[in-house]
Structure formats: structure tokens, C-alpha cells
A and B are shown apart, each in its own frame.
Chain A
């Protein structure tokens, strides 16, 4: 079974702090994704990565950056946390679009509260 893990289930940070959310997958997947999910707004793609050191902006990249130094690990960075970044953050991975493996597998999520 694919396993996607996220570093924290719950996180509370203060406005202006730099926040790191980490995601690790154990199935050698090419693609990794960061979403945020808010009531009434559905899943929104922040960034995705299709290879080590490769990244692409999603629909709402402002205020976020990402890092993928190793294939299994994808980090989301909030450079200076703000209250409007309070949300559920979900990491996902998929095998490869070229390989036909579009199905994404999600981690358990990190509920981030910015005070």
C-alpha cells in the first residue's frame, strides 16, 4: 500500500513565523502535490513537483514556497505565516502521468492554525 505521511497532524503558529510542513511518500512516486482545503472552497492546488528539484505553481502559490531535494520528500514552506493561511494542508503523491498513474494518494493532513 502507498503510504504518504505528513510531519504533524496539528500545528499552531504565530503570525510572521516561518512554517515548514513536510511530506514523505514511500512508493517511489514521481509526482507530489500540496493542497489546502477550506470549507466551501474545496481542494486548491498550491504547488506540485514532477521530479526532484522540479516544481510548478498551482492555483494559489502566493505566500508559499516548496522544496524537493529527494524524490520521497516534498516540503511546503510558509515564508511568513498569516492568519488567512489557517487551513487544512494535504499532501498527495502519484506515480506518473506518463505511466498512466494519475491517481493521487493523500497523507493524513496537517491542520494549521495561525494566531
Chain B
């Protein structure tokens, strides 16, 4: 079974801190990885994607990919209460199927 694993949390951080969300994957053929944010009762919203090893920064968000260790992470700097949501990690798996394999999501709580 090709999987993407995330700790369900909740991960609780104080406002202004760095939140670190982690994800591991089992399919070595995966090339593309995505982070989605999902507020309670809403649909997932794409916030970042990463294809290459290393870091990719976009504002307060940094995605990190390490293909040798098969992990992906999302760092949120200067966390705000509005960042409180569930974060879904997804990988494209191997075989160019067009499908994504989603993790179960990590719930982040940012406390004022």
C-alpha cells in the first residue's frame, strides 16, 4: 500500500512561533508533493507544492523535501491564530496517473 503518513496532532504552538508539520511517504517514485490547508467545514486549499530536494519559500511558508529520507515538511513562521487548520500533505505517487495520495492531515492550533 503506497501511503503518505502524517501525525494527526493536534499540534499546538503559541502565536508568533514556528509551526513544523511533517509528512513521510512510502513510494520512492513520487516526484511532486503538495500541502493543502483545510479550515473546519471547508474544502482543501492548495498552499504550496515542491518538486525538488531542498527548500522552497513562499511568504511565511517554507516547504522542505528530502527524497533520500522520503519526508516532506512545512514550516510556518510567525504563526497566527488564522493559521489554525488541518494541513494535508499529498504526493503524486509513481506512474503518472494524475492521482494524488493524501495523508490524513495534521491539525494545527495557534494559541493567542
Binding site for B on A (CB under 8 A): 30-31, 33, 42-43, 45, 48, 50, 58, 90, 94, 96-98, 100, 102-109
Q: Are A48 and B99 in contact (CB under 8 A)?
A: yes
Instruction: Give Cα distance in the complex from A105 to B104, angstroms.
Output: 18
Task: Count how many pairs of residues, one from A and one from B, have CB atoms less than 8 Å apart in the complex.
Answer: 49
Contact check, A104 vs B103: say whether CB atoms are below 8 A apart: no
| B100 and A104 within 8 A (CB) | yes
Interface size class of B (residues with CB under 8 A): 20 to 34
Q: Tell me if B's interface is mostly helix, strand, loop or mixed.
A: loop
Whole-angstrom distance between the Cβ of A45 and the nearest chain B Cβ? 7
| Candidate in A31, A90, A104 with the most chain B CB atoms within 10 angstroms | A104
Is the pair B88, A109 in contact by a Cβ cutoff of 8 Å? no
B59 contacts the other chain (CB 8 A) = no
* Complex CA–CA separation, A98 to B92 (angstroms): 12
